[in-house]
Amino acid sequence: MKKEDLKFIKDFAEMAYEAYLMGWHERNGGNMSYRMEESEAENASFLYDENAPWQKLDISVPGLANEYFLVTGSGKYFKNMIKDPEDTLCILQISEKGDSFRILWGLCNGGRPTSELASHLLNHEVKKRVTNGRYRIMYHAHPENVIALSFVLPCDEKVFTQKLWEMMPECPLTFPEGLGVVPFMEAGSIELGRATSEKMKDYNAVVWTHHGLFVSGDTFDEAFGLFHTVEKASSILVKVMSMYHGDGSLLQLM
């Protein structure tokens, strides 16, 4: 077995590159994590550094005890994940108590998992529970139209959901449960992680006001597709809103 044969790493890095091409990942913006299947964790074991030290988490995730994750590194560029997964990604294992992790593979030139690790793990814990283990992907990026809307729409999930549902008939089919919205909070904070994971009990996509979008899914395609749909509907709404004057009348062509 070679690293190149591990399909989940290939799928992960391919999605990262496609998302980069969409313009959602300026510099190191965004992060992603994948909860590995048992067989994938076993098949990848030839890569593992079994002496890797345990590091304490600032949160406790007992629902993820002994789970393995493929996670983006903090400060790493999505653009580079496909050509250099060892440098930009890592496989980490959660301890038996769910209060520590260790890096078994990756980040070969040093570094840490994403600064949003708390959000990712808290969301995984919720989604694993409410979907009976089906959901495995957590994905966050900085899509410009969702962010722009979060400056002009009220921080209200009913309004966000209704407005985006109206933009394309695809929307109520793709996110029938609607969208969660959390107010602006410090990036990388546990507070942001906790607020998002509360929303993940009911929603698959959560708007991070003035920051971006966080989605969950059972496959890479589903997570990417949901993210794409929300951002595309947001771009239509931005266009429609910019065709109106301040008094609500429509701009007329000469």
Please identify which residue in 8, 13, 16, 28 interacts with ligand 13P, judged by CB under 6 A.
28
* Residues 34-73 interacting with ligand 13P (rule: CB under 6 A): 72
3-class state of residue 111 by DSSP? coil
Catalogue the E-assigned strands of the chain: 31-35, 55-56, 68-72, 89-94, 100-106, 137-141, 180-182, 205-208, 212-217
Which one of 28-36, 44-52, 149-157, 177-185 is the stretch in contact with ligand 13P (CB under 6 A)? 28-36
Q: How far is the CB of 74 from ligand 13P (least distance, A)?
A: 3
* Residues 67-126 interacting with ligand 13P (rule: CB under 6 A): 72, 74-75, 114-116
Which one of 34-42, 188-196, 197-205, 206-214 is the stretch in contact with Zn ion (CB under 5 A)? 206-214
Toward ligand 13P, which CB reaches closer, 89 or 179? 89
Q: Rounded to whole angstroms, how far apart are CA atoms 31 and 191?
A: 17
CB of 230 closer than 8 Å to CB of 213: yes
Look at residue 74 and give the partner it binds from Zn ion, ligand 13P, none, a contact being a CB closer than 5 to 8 Å depending on partner kind: ligand 13P
Q: How far is the CB of 114 from ligand 13P (least distance, A)?
A: 3
How many other C-beta atoms are found inside a 10 Å radius of the C-beta of residue 112? Answer: 14
Active site residues: 116
CB of 197 closer than 8 Å to CB of 171: no
Q: How far is the CB of 72 from Zn ion (least distance, A)?
A: 11
Which one of 53-61, 98-106, 143-151, 211-219 is the stretch in contact with Zn ion (CB under 5 A)? 211-219
Comparing CA positions, the residue from 201, 163, 205, 159 lying closest to residue 180 is 205
Site mask, ligand 13P, residues 149-178, x = CB under 6 A? Answer: ------------------------------
Toward ligand 13P, which CB reaches closer, 10 or 142? 142
**Alpha-carbon separation of residue 240 from 143, 209, 235 (angstroms):** 18, 21, 9
**Alpha-carbon separation of residue 21 from 12, 15, 246 (angstroms):** 15, 10, 34
Toward ligand 13P, which CB reaches closer, 131 or 209? 209
Look at residue 40 and give the partner it binds from Zn ion, ligand 13P, none, a contact being a CB closer than 5 to 8 Å depending on partner kind: none
Surface-to-core class of residue 132, CB atoms within 10 Å of its CB (0-12 exposed, 13-18 middle, 19+ buried): exposed
Comparing CA positions, the residue from 16, 189, 57 lying closest to residue 115 is 189
3-class state of residue 92 by DSSP? strand
Comparing CA positions, the residue from 122, 109, 111 lying closest to residue 73 is 111
Please identify which residue in 14, 17, 29, 219 interacts with ligand 13P, judged by CB under 6 A.
29
Q: How far is the CB of 198 from ligand 13P (least distance, A)?
A: 18
Do you know the residue count of the chain?
A: 254
Q: How far is the CB of 29 from Zn ion (least distance, A)?
A: 6
**Site residues, ligand 13P (CB under 6 A):** 28-31, 72, 74-75, 114-116, 187-188
**Site residues, Zn ion (CB under 5 A):** 212
